[in-house]
Chain A
Amino acid sequence: GQSLEQPSEVTAVEGAIVQINCTYQTSGFNGLFWYQQHAGEAPTFLSYNVLDGLEEKGRFSSFLSRSKGYSYLLLKELQMKDSASYFCAVGLNTGFQKLVFGTGTRLLVSP
């Protein structure tokens, strides 16, 4: 089976840097995804890592270590609008993109 673990909640202040961790155990790994979800809204895609290393996209970066079953999402220069839930999801090699989601990390950004 598959399992993913994330912290339930992280708090930070505006302008700071925050890291949200995700550890996973899975078979048939085909990439690690991060999604952002504001309360009451649809999840939106943030990043996709399939190889080890860091992927940078503006203020957001995502890191993957396949050997350690570990990923993190790094958010820089935090803004109030970054307050949301962040989900990591493992893509399984099933012939199509089947995602298994973690339970999510709620990020609270304060002034």
Chain B
Amino acid sequence: GAGVSQSPSNKVTEKGKDVELRCDPISGHTALYWYRQSLGQGLEFLIYFQGNSAPDKSGLPSDRFSAERTGGSVSTLTIQRTQQEDSAVYLCASSFGGRAVDTQYFGPGTRLTVL
């Protein structure tokens, strides 16, 4: 079946503009995660969804970042008033139930460049 998909694959924006990044998880996966990966670095946890609820938003770096999930499926990560330090690859992952034994499957990411 289809894997996790993300759009757009690349986004170039000007400092101060808002951007929306989209994630389509694997069908039937209740858990959805957003991560950020800066060049040459590991993945940094941003937020976790179980269904449409976000029990853990602790990784969002500032109040300019927000995310929502609708219908227990598609999620959107919004960054307002983008800054150059927001430039990174934003990865989405989904898993069947979010439990410790559930494998996270990652999407190809959105590469965000803020000029």
Contact = CB atoms under 8 A, between A and B. Distances in A.
B4 A87 contact: no
Interface residues on A, range: 20 to 34
Contacts of A95: 55
B66 to A, nearest CB: 19
Contacts of A87: 42-43
Interface stretch (B12-20, B69-77, B79-87, B95-103): B95-103
B45 A31 contact: no
A101 interface: yes
B107 A42 contact: yes
Interface in A71-105: 87, 89, 91, 93-104
Given A42-B4, A43-B91, A99 B104 contact: yes
A101 B91 contact: no
Given A42-B4, A50-B100, A96 B48 contact: yes
Contact of B45 (A30, A45, A50, A99): A99
B56 A43 contact: no
Nearest to B43: A101
Contacts of A44: 106
Contacts of A60: none
Nearest to B3: A42
Contacts of B108: 41-42
A96 B42 contact: no
12 contacts: A31-B101, A43-B91, A45-B105, A87-B42, A87-B43, A89-B43, A91-B100, A97-B31, A97-B98, A98-B48, A98-B56, A101-B44
Given A42-B91, A101-B43, 12 more contacts: A4-B42, A42-B4, A45-B105, A48-B101, A50-B100, A87-B43, A97-B98, A97-B101, A98-B45, A99-B43, A103-B40, A103-B41
